[in-house]
Amino acid sequence: MVVYTEISIPATGFPIGKAFAELPDVLVEMEQIVPIPNAIIPFIWVEGARPDDVVQATYSHEAAEDIMALNEVDGRTLYRVVWKPGFRDTVVSISESGLSLLSGIGTSEEWRFEFRSETKTPLSEFVTELRDADVPFTLVRLTDNRPARNRNSHDLSSEQFEALHLAYTEGYFEEPRAVTLDTLATRLGITRQAFAGRLRRAFDTLISQELYPHAAQEFNGDAVQ
């Protein structure tokens, strides 16, 4: 029986989360986790933080052996990270658990992971490892069916919804525009780059679900093995 699980972990509950917790406007999304001999190489997208700050924060917690910015698209930067040999953390546990990671998204306050597994055994072992490592976590959802999308929320994060709602109500989409990105970003106390990134991610989510629902389903992990 296929099992779908979603858990949340405070950013301060594990080393990588602590590193990114130092960057208040950060949004991290795991592209994929690939196990190779003697290392785990996650590819992560990061927005809301300068590359130099991301590199410094990651190195400061002595977890990364190497981190490299590969590409920047619309305010998001793709990084390739090689963790130090023998380094133990939640991302390593996930890659070794036998769980399929459908999504992993982190902010300076919280990380959320969604998994799929063929049985409950990998999930049970993963949860046991978290408890043994004293990693605090909350089981948000456990079901044998992946939850249907809520057409009201459209799976927007709270930050994305807040940015989209503010931009709409303040007249950003009017012609001519009644407000600038700088003003909207200031209202939320974040950088212009971070606000623009939240808007772009919100648009990506809405467009993929409304115009390309099958593609969106595949992107969100159904094709990830």
pLDDT in tens, 123-134: 888 888 888 888
Q: Which of residues 2 and 155 earns the better pLDDT score?
A: 2
Taking only the tens place, the pLDDT of each residue in 20-45 is 898 888 888 887 555 554 456 578 88
Backbone angles phi, psi at 62, to 5 degrees: 55, 40
Instruction: Write down the pLDDT at residue 184.
Output: 92
The H-assigned helical ranges of 35-191 are 51-60, 90-96, 121-132, 158-169, 181-188
Instruction: Write down the pLDDT at residue 218.
Output: 37
Put simply, whether the predicted model's pTM sits higher than 0.75 gets the answer no
Instruction: Write down the pLDDT at residue 69.
Output: 92
The H-assigned helical ranges of 134-191 are 158-169, 181-188
Bridge partners of residue 29, in order along the sequence: 45, 105
Q: How many residues does the chain have?
A: 225
